[in-house]
Amino acid sequence: MEEFIITVVPTKNPAILKFETNHFITKNNNYEFKNIDEAKISPLAQQLFYLPFIKTVYISGNFIGLERYDIVEWDDVKDSVAQQLVDYLNAGEPVVKEDENQKKVAVTVYAEVTPNPSVMKFVTNKRIVPTTFEFKNIDEAKDSELAKQLFMLPFVKEVFFDVNYVSINKYDVAEWDDITLELREKIRDFIAAGKEVVSAKSLQKQNTNTPEAQLEDTNLDDISKQIIDILEEYVKPAVASDGGNILFKSYEEDTKTVNVILQGACSGCPSSTYTLKNGIETMLKNMMGDMVNEVVALNG
């Protein structure tokens, strides 16, 4: 049986904590329960509502989100709650009694062009990963069976996963018109088979590199954390719509330089320099004044 590990992740709402798991705990659905009566299909949520400070329970792919009443502070109870969740999950108890007889939703995948002519975005109608993953070659993809299968195709150069899509960077040897259908069907068949896109080991490792984890890093200064917040709220949604991702790398206080990492379709995109200078750099300068002088991109 798979052993569960819980990682406590703060959110922007101080009343809500995420308890991330290293394995998926639901199939395809997200759940929100406001009280014990609403939680009839979730034995785990019902058990949590016996804690007098639990206001709302959220259950999704690889996390349990809990909203508290003001009668307690999370610092006083989060460790005991995390341990309770670990014990429950490792006992093999049901999280949500999902209707096995419910008609399965067909997996659909459609191809979407990106600003990078070498990258195509394959969007699915279901969640495939909880956060971003990037693989530059088949060796890096050892913890992702889907990425390994894609790298078996001679024209696949790089693979990038986000919550509900796969971005593929191809070699120039092939044209999209000739390979898009094959890629779309391979991705759809893999997901429809219910296979794990990334391994639990990879999920656990990635949890330490998320923006939430960065914001909890005591080694980061306040300026760096402010930059991360701006990138998450204003920049990341835009680049994600184009099949890419942006990550904060570092802030150099002496030169006031912000270093970021571009992933997916943004990495090596001909228009990325324009976007970086006229979009991201301008935004950070406007919002942070003379604290930012330049933004430098490193391809992921």
Tell me the CB-side half-sphere exposure of residue 299, using CA atoms within 13 A.
12
Across 124-133, 145-154, 198-207, 232-241, least confident range: 198-207
Q: What is the pLDDT of residues 147-173, one digit of tens each?
A: 999 999 999 999 999 989 999 999 999
Which CATH entry fits the domain spanning 215-299: 3.40.50.1380, 3.30.465.10, 3.30.300.130, 3.90.1010.10? Answer: 3.30.300.130
- On the question of a common fold for 6-91 and 109-205, the answer reads yes
Q: How far apart are CA 154 and CA 281, in angstroms?
A: 37
How long is the chain? 300
**Predicted confidence (pLDDT) per residue in 177-211, tens digit:** 999 999 999 999 998 888 889 886 666 555 545 55
CB distance 234 to 241 below 8 Å: no
- Cβ atoms of 143 and 199 closer than 8 Å: yes
* Residue 300 binned pLDDT confidence (cut-offs 50, 70, 90): low
108-131 mean pLDDT: 89
CATH superfamily of 109-205: Scaffold protein Nfu/NifU, N-terminal domain (3.30.1370.70)
> Tell me, what's the pLDDT at 217?
59
Highest average pLDDT, of 7-11, 43-47, 224-228, comes from 43-47
Around Cβ 237, how many Cβ atoms within 10 Å?
9
* pLDDT given at position 33: 92
Share of the chain above pLDDT 70, in %: 86
Distance CA 256, CA 14 (A): 30
Compare 60 and 300 and report the one with higher pLDDT.
60
Return mean pLDDT, the chain. Answer: 85
Triad 52, 54, 60: Cα angle to 5°: 150
Q: Is 289 left (phi over 0), alpha (psi -120 to 50) or beta?
A: left
Tell me how far CA of residue 137 lies from CA of 15, 27, 114, 134, in angstroms. Answer: 41, 29, 21, 9
Residue 104 has pLDDT above 70, yes or no: no
The top-scoring range by mean pLDDT among 45-59, 188-202, 256-270 is 45-59
Q: Are 7 and 75 in contact (CB under 8 A)?
A: no
Query: Could you tell me the pLDDT band of residue 127, with boundaries at 50, 70 and 90?
Result: confident
Please report the pLDDT score of residue 279 as a whole number: 79
Q: What is the pLDDT of residue 102?
A: 46
The pLDDT, as a whole number, for residue 106 is 77
Question: Mind listing the pLDDT tens digit for each residue in 212-228?
Answer: 555 555 677 888 888 98
Query: b/e map of 128-147 (b: 16 or more CB within 10 Å)?
Result: bbbbbbbbbebebbebbebb
E strand or H helix at 180 = helix 176-192
The pLDDT score that the predictor gives to residue 101 is 42
Gyration radius (Cα) of the chain, Å: 21
Helices and strands (DSSP H and E) totals, the chain: 10, 13
Proportion of the chain in helix, strand, coil states, percent, rounded to 5: 35, 25, 40
State how far the Cα of 62 lies from the Cα of 60, in Å rounded to an integer. 6
Distance between alpha carbon 123 and the CA centroid of its chain, in Å? Answer: 15
Banded pLDDT at 103 (limits 50, 70, 90) = very low
In the chain, the percentage of residues whose pLDDT exceeds 90 is 43
Q: What is the CATH number of domain 6-91?
A: 3.30.1370.70
Other C-beta atoms within 10 Å of 203: how many? Answer: 25
The residue extents of the domains of the chain are 6-91, 109-205, 215-299
Bin 243: left if φ > 0, else alpha if -120 < ψ < 50, else beta. Answer: left
